[in-house]
Structures are given as structure tokens and as C-alpha cells.
Amino acid sequence: MKLNGLFASVFILAVVVAGLLSFGSEHSQSGDARCPVSGEPASDEFSMRFKGATLRFSSVNCLREFKQNQARYASDANRQLFATAQATQIKCPLTGKLMKEDLSANVGGDTVKFCCEACRDTVVKTAGDEQINLVFGNKTFTKAFRVKSNERPSAKMKVSKTDKSGSKASQKSASQTADEPTIDTALVQKAIEIQDRHTTQLMQMSGVAGTGIAADSEGNPVINVYVNSQDPTQHIPAQLEGTRVQIEVIGSVTPIDPSAAKTPSTPTPQPQRAAKPTGLTSGVNPSSRFTRPVPIGVSTGNQAKCMTGTIGCRLKDGNGNYYALSNNHIFALQNKASLDSGILQPGLNDTSCKFVLDNSIGSLQVYKQIFFGGVTNVMDAALARSSAENLTNATPSDGYGTPRQQTVSAKLGQKVKKYGKSTGLTNGTVTAVNVTLNIRYSSGTATFVKQIIVSGTNFTKAGDSGSLLVADADNSPVGLLFAQVNSSVAVANPISEVLNEFRKTIPTLAIDGN
């Protein structure tokens, strides 16, 4: 009897310990993880980042196999995240509705809750791989479970330069502000590689306008699929090679160019001055005529069309020649303008379409052709030959000043600003990189790759095309604005690509260009 009592005590103790371990598993990082490939116990020694969490394997061969065939093992990988408490259930996996605490079933050793008896019974009637795929397949997993990112700061977390011990932590570059997130560049690059492998196929789907890399609320890179409407969304996969897909209705994206349905007049002797655009609070009017040399960020355009854009910045070549940078559709009129045609400040749309000879600041020198109908583009850019007498390299007095010569690549969460002829100085945030997007011009639809999407309240209006996008922290050039979704979402070319194309540099000083 004493022996039986001892066994009973041990049994009860074991049950209590098991219960405590089960209770604490919600906070465990490893739990009883099973390799998604072999089904054997997984090890911390063989792991990889997966959906912002840590996925473990039983051997290096299993790790390699998973990387090559992620779609095949996705359900078991998702189940491991749930089993190790790196993912929590938030909804019923079958319907996406709120789950009930008293309606649950054992799925692969884990308790999963449901919204109704019908959903629970459907799962209970299945078994093995069919059951795992039904509950933890990518579509149901995305709908019903939330991954708790680990091992790195989230997008909303500030990263200090030193930890509590005084040692150096994640350092921000000079072109980052203190409140910008530090998003794992390796994860972003991996997402870009996956995106690039699937973009062509996605773009062939009806209603898909483009793709890009963005970050979710926890700072995990996701693949954005931009659509014209909600209609095609049911055909878009919930994930690609283990990276979550996020659908964004973007509508029609167009260049940012105000045009007047008028023919330019014959030359008039006196300069015309434009009315101050609404929304600007300073005394400066970027749409007006400026005393020469004119600043950057102000009204400009080709003398052959009554339209207006913005001077992005001043460039310089090795021979000491100066150029004004703007868009092809502003200076070269979508490939249609004649080389050496006059470039004005302000543009004709800001002088009631009256051509004033004294408003000339140079002539069209070169442009990068925009290709329509399937051939990809990287930039909408053109140069006007100008001079130090006609053009400086600083914004008006209410702007950000002079851009730096050294460019920086756009990064997710990066704080940026621009000065444009319609809205003046505005601030935004880089919300997507490596964007492929269809842009609807009057000449046809053009596909652009490697683009940057920036979001900000009242960030841009028609006429801001050609504005230089710079880092908020130190004025490092980031991009060349050329299109918009709406006043709060704009698209920019990577400025490094533009400068490499034209083999020009940005002078570091406003007046002498040294």
C-alpha cells in the first residue's frame, strides 16, 4: 500500500508539473518543436527566420530541403510556430470569425479553437496531413493566427545607440532620424528576392498593378501586391515562399503634372506672376517667377506645352556645366519634345499659358526615354542645360536648404521630405521599396521597376513632379518624384539610378557648385 501510495504521489506530481509546463508553453520559444520536414524533434542548432519568428529543424539537410520547397512544408512550419507559442490564435481558422473558448479540438497535439460546432466537427472528421493542412495551411494560418516577431526590434520600436551596459547597439546612419525603425536588411533582401521571382506571374493577373516590399505592424517584411480594385484579390496567394502577401488597393497611378487645355501664346515682353497656391503657409510662392539664379523646388516646364512641374535639383558635369533635373514628362513631354527646346521658370501653366522669353533658364539637353507597352523603365527623368547665373542648388527660404552630394538608398520606414512647386516643403515616410508598378500616362501605360513609395499627409499635389526626395535627417538625396496614387501616396525613382544614367553629380554648395 505504501508503495502504491508512493507511485500515486509521483503520478500526481508528474501531472501537476506537466500542467505547469503546458501552462507556460505560451511563453516558450522552443517547446516541443517538431521539424516540419522530418517530423523529428527540432534543434536550435538548425534554424532560420520564418514569418518574423524562428523555425527549427532536426538537421541541416532538412533546413536546406525546406528552403528549396517551402510551399510543400508550409503547414507543418506554421504548426511549429503555434506549438512553440511564437504564433497565437486570434480567429477561427475555417471562417475567420471570432472563436469560442468552449469549442476546441486537438490538432497535431495542439488545442485549436473554433467559432461553431460545424467548423470543429469538420476538423475532427479529418486526420493526419489533411487535418494539419486544413488548420495550418497558409491561407487559414494568415487568417486565424498572429505571429509574434522575435529576436529583433519591431517597426515601432526605437533603437538606442547604446544598451544598458554602455556597449554599442544597432547604430543608425547619419541619414536616419532617431525615431526611424531599424528593419533587418537581410530579411528585406530575402523578401525582395522572393518578390522578384514571382512579380512577372503576379503582374499577368487581371487587375494587378504592381508589387513591392513593405513592412507589417511588427516590422516584418511583406510582399505588397497592388491591385486596381478588390475584384482579383481572391486569386492572389496569401504567402510566397514563406513570406506573407499583403494586398493593397491602389487604383490608377498617374504622373503628377497639371496641364491646361490651351496652346502657348506668342512671346510677351513682361514676366507673368502666378497666384500663390492654396495650402502654403509661408510668404514664398514656388509657382511664381524667381529672380535669377532661381532656387530648386519651384515651377518649371517646357515652352512647347502649357503644363508645369518642379525643378528637382542642380547637377554638374566634369567640365563645369550645370543642368536642371526634372522628369521626362515635364521637360521632354513624354519623349515628344525637341532637344534644345526652351525650359522655363515658371512653367506655362503658372503664367496662364503666356510664353515669356525672359522666363527661360535653359534648354532640353537629354532625357531617358519612357517605354510603353511592356518594356520596363527605371526612371522618368530629363536634364535641361542651364548655368550658375540661372540656377542655384538650394530651395527657397522656407525649404530644407541644399541637398547633399552623397545619395542614400531608400529604406522601409525612412523619414523623407521634398520641396515642390505646389505644396512646398512636406514630410513623408518610405512605405515600400523595390516597387514594380504600372503608371498610366496620356501616351500609354508604362511599367516601372525599382521604385519607391512614400506616404504622408498632403505630401504632394499636381505640379510636384520632379521634386527631389531627400532624407529628413541630413538632406541626402533619395529619389525623384514623378507619380502619385493620391495626395498622400507618391512614387519616386531611385536618385542613384538617375545620376548614374546621366553621369552627373549634385554640387554641394548652392551658388558656386564646388
> Quick one: how far is CA 15 from the chain centroid?
50
Neighbouring CB atoms inside 10 A of 459's CB total 25
DSSP conformational letter for 213: E
Distance of CA 385 to the CA centre of its chain: 33
User: What beta strand segments (E) does 117-272 contain?
Assistant: 145-147, 208-215, 221-227, 239-240, 243-249, 254-255
Residue-level pLDDT, tens digit, the chain, 514 residues: 344 444 444 444 443 333 333 333 333 333 578 999 998 999 888 888 888 788 999 888 888 888 878 888 999 999 999 999 898 998 999 988 888 888 999 998 899 999 999 999 999 999 888 999 999 998 889 889 988 754 433 333 333 333 333 333 345 566 666 667 778 889 999 999 999 999 999 999 988 999 999 998 888 999 999 998 877 666 889 999 999 999 998 988 999 877 755 556 655 544 444 444 444 545 799 999 999 999 999 999 999 999 999 999 999 999 999 999 999 999 999 999 999 999 999 999 999 999 999 999 999 999 999 999 889 999 999 999 999 999 999 999 999 999 999 999 999 999 999 999 999 999 999 999 999 999 999 999 999 999 999 999 999 999 999 999 999 999 999 999 999 999 999 999 999 999 999 999 987 655 444 4
What stretch of H or E contains 194? helix 185-203
Residue with cell 513682361: 270
Residues paired with 17 in a beta bridge: none
Residue 379 and residue 498 in contact, taking contact as beta carbons nearer than 8 Å: yes
> Do the beta carbons of residue 52 and residue 220 sit within 8 Å?
yes
Distance (Å, whole) CA 89 – CA 438:
37
CB atoms under 10 Å from CB of 170, counted, come to 11
In the chain, the amino acid numbered 437 is L
Distance CA 71, CA 235 (A): 17
Q: Which letter does DSSP use for residue 391 in this model?
A: B
In the chain the domains, ranked by start, together with CATH numbers, are: 20-147 (no CATH), 185-249 (3.30.300.50), 254-502 (2.40.10.10)
Q: 0.85 exceeded by the pTM?
A: no
